[in-house]
């Protein structure tokens, strides 16, 4: 389907980012690579996760694709509450529910896959909490970051791919509407600006892609970005 020129042959994961994450080094991934895909609703996260997964599988890698909130029975239950609850939910309750689902997801899916040497692609992760509950809802960023660290036991993605596009364009692509996605354009635009601020503060960990491009171009840029995080040979 695509015509990617990126070669990922003979690479291994750098496993950690001492520069950006000095206090919480990732555990040894035994060759695993932790990629997250972030962005506003309709930015193409699920589509890109699938395409990267297909590409890396063809390149001979073990790949696990998963998504937040979800990826476990606890996560699925939390997804139902967070996305479809009809009662007005406090911002702190919303954050804690996402973090509870994340803790279960990390322990039962993400760490085991990384320790088994897989490329783990996660559709949304900790940066979504910072962008949505921190930047857009206005909760204290330091507190959100602390809860992220607690929920993940300090696990930080090797690479966060940020799909950036105007909120209006993302919402126009969307097919499913839920409690969070149905917020107004201004809310989604602040989420977008939050993601961009995060990417600017951690340029070593983020790959920012213009998601208004066609999907083949987005995939090509993502694979090039992943290649930059990889150390040749091992
Ligand atoms: N680069 C692109 N150009 C045009 N359409 C795209 C592109 N990427 C994805 N799409 C289409 O946009 C729609 C939304 O994509 P997708 O479901 O991957 O987004 P998402 O970020 O996962 O959305 P959500 O936040 O709702 O889960 C789908 O119909 C998909 O085929
Ligand atoms: Mg999706």
Q: Quote the ligand 2 centre to 67 CA distance (angstroms).
A: 8
Report pTM.
Answer: 0.87
* Phi/psi-derived region of residue 15, left when phi > 0, alpha when psi is between -120 and 50, beta in every other case: left
The DSSP call for residue 118 is -
The answer to whether 101 and 66 have CB atoms below 8 angstroms apart is no
Residue 233's pLDDT band (boundaries 50, 70, 90)? very low
Give me the pLDDT at residue 184, please: 85
Q: Quote the ligand 2 centre to 48 CA distance (angstroms).
A: 9
- Beta bridge mates, 79: none
Residue with CA nearest ligand 1 atom 16: 44
Give me the pLDDT at residue 181, please: 67
Q: Which ligand is nearest to the CA of 48?
A: 1
Residue 109 to residue 75: CA distance in whole angstroms: 11
Give mean pLDDT, residues 43-54.
Answer: 97
Give mean pLDDT, residues 87-92.
Answer: 92
Q: Which ligand is nearest to the CA of 40?
A: 1
Report which of residues 8 and 186 the model is more confident about: 186
The DSSP call for residue 109 is I
Q: Residue 217's closest CA among 55, 49, 54, 48?
A: 48
CATH numbers and ranges of domains, the chain: 32-232 (3.40.50.300)
H or E segment to which residue 117 belongs: none
The answer to whether 134 and 147 have CB atoms below 8 angstroms apart is no
In ligand 1, the atom with minimum distance to the C-alpha of 123 is 22
**Residue 24 predicted with pLDDT over 60:** no
**Residue 19 predicted with pLDDT over 80:** no
Q: Quote the ligand 2 centre to 90 CA distance (angstroms).
A: 24
**Residue 206 predicted with pLDDT over 70:** yes
Give mean pLDDT, residues 48-68.
Answer: 95
Give me the pLDDT at residue 234, please: 37
Share of the chain above pLDDT 90, in %: 70
For 119-157, write each residue's pLDDT tens digit: 999 999 999 999 999 999 999 999 999 999 999 999 999
Residue 113 to residue 80: CA distance in whole angstroms: 25
Q: Quote the ligand 1 centre to 231 CA distance (angstroms).
A: 30
**Residue 8 predicted with pLDDT over 60:** no
For 153-198, write each residue's pLDDT tens digit: 999 999 999 999 999 999 888 777 777 767 788 999 999 999 999 9
Give me the pLDDT at residue 29, please: 54
Q: Which residues have C-beta atoms less than 6 Å from ligand 1?
A: 39, 41-47, 173-174, 176, 211, 213-215, 218
Give mean pLDDT, residues 49-70.
Answer: 94
Give mean pLDDT, residues 42-51.
Answer: 97
- Helices 141-152 and 91-105: angle between axes, nearest 10 degrees: 30
Pick the range with the lowest mean pLDDT from 53-57, 78-82, 169-173, 227-231: 227-231
Residue 226 to residue 203: CA distance in whole angstroms: 13
Residue with CA nearest ligand 1 atom 19: 44
Give mean pLDDT, residues 47-62.
Answer: 95
Residue with CA nearest ligand 1 atom 13: 173
Pocket perturbation via mutation, ligand 1, pick of 2, 38, 41, 42 by most ligand atoms within 8 A of CB: 42
């Amino acid at each position: 389907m695509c015509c990617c020129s990126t070669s990922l042959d003979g690479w291994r994961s750098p496993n950690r980012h001492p520069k950006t994450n000095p206090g919480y080094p990732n555990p040894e991934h035994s060759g695993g690579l932790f990629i997250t895909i972030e962005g506003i609703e309709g930015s193409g996260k699920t589509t890109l996760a699938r395409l990267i997964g297909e590409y890396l599988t063809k390149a001979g890698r073990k790949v696990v694709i998963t998504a937040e909130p979800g990826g476990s029975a606890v996560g699925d239950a939390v997804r139902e509450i967070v996305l479809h609850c009809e009662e007005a939910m406090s911002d702190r309750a919303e954050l804690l529910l996402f973090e509870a689902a994340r803790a279960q997801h990390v322990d039962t899916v993400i760490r085991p896959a990384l320790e088994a040497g897989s490329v783990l692609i996660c559709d949304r992760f900790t940066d979504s909490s910072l962008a949505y509950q921190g930047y857009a809802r206005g909760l204290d960023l330091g507190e959100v970051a602390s809860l992220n660290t607690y929920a993940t036991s300090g696990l930080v993605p090797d690479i966060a791919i940020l799909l950036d596009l105007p909120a209006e364009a993302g919402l126009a692509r969307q097919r499913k509407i839920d409690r969070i996605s149905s917020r107004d354009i201004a809310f989604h635009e602040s989420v977008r600006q939050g993601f961009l601020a995060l990417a600017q503060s951690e340029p070593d960990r983020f790959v920012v892609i213009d998601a208004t491009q066609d999907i083949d171009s987005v995939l090509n840029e993502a694979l090039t970005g992943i290649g930059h995080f990889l150390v040749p040979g091992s």
